[in-house]
């Protein structure tokens, strides 16, 4: 039995999800004739109280299209130094949109309204890039699944309004935040101009992200998605997986969060761990005590068929997910407890 806690992207469609996908009604989505894709887009737009939505092959593409439609070449966007849009999208903001990133030194991937306000360039000063967009990530990826306080997001929105900035949410793991904080998607819909959500992480669909926004924003996004090569044809089979996931795999995220908390609690008790970051959702980030190295610990786990990821700078990461069952969890806890150096 291989236990892959590398990421929540490793999940495979469940048999029920596959059955649901097989039965999907499909058409050519580039002509908006795929009923299942249309249904998924309408469902998500309604859920977030927005006018429209658009299905994408990846979260990266959804974010990159959002950056493109919310900026002009030469502009600057504001985000945390660990933001996925800056760090893990191949320099896409520069490549696709000609936009530079003004990085803020946030806490666990989260930035404050005060930091945002201080980072906005004076639009009258011709030496400076025009600030046009703020990108938020919730939950944070490199920040260890941390969730924003909603109040802070409201404050940042006020700064955006005062300064005529667009406000984008990279919600790849927003489902986890909604469940952990008992929040409603409509509250997010009211705040943000555009929101990307992922169907293939915690929710367990094989492929897909959705960008949600106003009719006008999504109309622009449809053009840019085509231009980026993301127009798909009978993608209803994939959208069906997303529909199934929305119906069956959201509330169970609590189980992933509980398992992550169990792992963190145990790690805290182990003599070979140094710092274990607080766990709010499904990600556990921790360091090991010198002279023990991350590689040594990963090797010991690998010998027990447990795989985790090395985040660099001495940080290691467990991510719990749909395919990480209770029997595996019991086995992992026991295995961790037995590790000695």
Ligand X SMILES: *Cc1c(COP(=O)(O)O)cnc(C)c1O
| Binding-site ranges for ligand X (CB under 6 A) | 58-60, 63, 84, 137, 141, 170, 172, 198, 209
3-state secondary structure 46-115: HHCCCCEEEEECCHHHHHHHHHHHHCCCCCEEEEECCCHHHHCCCCHHHHHHCCEEEEECCECCECCHHH
What's the closest the beta carbon of residue 271 comes to ligand X, in angstroms? 32
User: In terms of CB distance, is 63 or 97 closer to ligand X?
Assistant: 63
Q: Which helix (H) or strand (E) covers residue 213, if one does? A: strand 209-213
CA distances from 286 to 126, 145, 176, 213, 260 (A): 44, 13, 20, 36, 12
Nearer to ligand X, 63 or 282 (CB): 63
Nearest distance from C-beta of residue 265 to ligand X, angstroms: 24
Contact between 156 and 134 under an 8 Å Cβ cutoff? The reply is yes
Nearer to ligand X, 85 or 288 (CB): 85
CB of 88 to ligand X, least distance (A): 7
Residue 63 or 96 with smaller CB distance to ligand X: 63
Residue 310 in 3-state DSSP? Answer: strand
What is the spatial distance between Cα 195 and Cα 48, in angstroms, rounded to a whole number? Answer: 9
Select 68 or 130, whichever has its Cβ closest to ligand X.
68
Residue with tokens 């299942």: 36
The DSSP string of 231-281 is --SSTHHHHHHHHHHHHHSSTTHHHHHHHHHHHHHHHHHSTTEEEE---SS
Residues with Cβ within 8 Å of 320's Cβ and at least 6 positions away in sequence, in order, are 5, 8, 256, 257, 259, 260, 263, 282, 329
- Asked whether the beta carbons of 173 and 198 are under 8 A apart, the reply is yes
CB of 200 to ligand X, least distance (A): 6
Chain position whose Cβ is nearest to ligand X: 59
Q: Indicate the pairing of strand 283-288 with strand 315-319.
A: antiparallel
Q: Which is nearer to ligand X, 7 or 163 (CB)?
A: 7
Q: Smallest distance from the beta carbon of 144 to ligand X, in angstroms? A: 12
- Judged by CB, which is closer to ligand X: 137, or 280? 137
Least Å from the CB of residue 6 to ligand X: 12
Q: Name the minimum Å distance from CB 93 to ligand X.
A: 13
**CB nearer ligand X, residue 86 or residue 286:** 86
Q: Is 120 helix (H, G, I), strand (E, B) or coil?
A: coil
Provide the minimum distance between the beta carbon of 123 and ligand X in the complex, in angstroms, as a whole number: 29
């Amino acid at each position: 039995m291989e236990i892959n806690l590398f990421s929540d992207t490793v999940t495979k469609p469940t048999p029920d999800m596959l059955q649901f996908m097989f039965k999907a009604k499909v058409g050519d989505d580039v002509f908006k004739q795929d009923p299942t894709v249309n249904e998924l887009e309408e469902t998500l737009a309604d859920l977030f109280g927005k006018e429209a939505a658009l299905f994408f092959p990846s979260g990266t593409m959804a974010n990159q299209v959002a950056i493109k439609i919310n900026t002009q070449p030469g502009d600057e966007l504001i985000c945390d130094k660990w933001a996925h849009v800056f760090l893990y999208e191949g320099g896409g903001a520069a490549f696709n949109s000609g936009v530079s990133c003004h990085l803020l030194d946030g806490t666990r991937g989260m930035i404050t309204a005060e930091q945002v306000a201080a980072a906005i360039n004076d639009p009258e000063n011709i030496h400076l890039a025009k600030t046009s967009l703020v990108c938020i990530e919730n939950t944070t990826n490199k920040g260890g699944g941390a969730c924003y306080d909603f109040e802070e997001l409201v404050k940042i929105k006020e700064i955006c309004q005062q300064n005529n900035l667009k406000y984008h949410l990279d919600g790849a793991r927003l489902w986890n935040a909604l469940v952990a904080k008992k929040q409603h998607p409509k509250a997010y819909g009211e705040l943000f101009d555009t929101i990307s959500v992922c169907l293939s992480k915690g929710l367990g669909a094989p492929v897909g992200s959705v960008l949600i926004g106003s009719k006008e924003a999504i109309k622009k996004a449809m053009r840019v998605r085509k231009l980026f090569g993301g127009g798909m044809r009978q993608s209803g089979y994939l959208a069906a997986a997303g529909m199934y996931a929305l119906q069956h795999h959201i509330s169970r995220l609590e189980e992933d969060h509980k398992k992550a908390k169990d792992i963190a609690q145990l790690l805290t008790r182990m003599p070979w761990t140094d710092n274990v970051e607080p766990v709010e959702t499904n990600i556990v980030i921790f360091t090991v005590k010198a002279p023990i190295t991350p590689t040594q610990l990963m090797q010991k786990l690998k010998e027990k068929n447990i795989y985790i990821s090395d985040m660099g700078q001495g940080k290691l990461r467990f991510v719990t997910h749909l395919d990480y069952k209770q029997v595996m969890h019991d086995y992992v806890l026991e295995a961790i407890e037995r590790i000695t150096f």
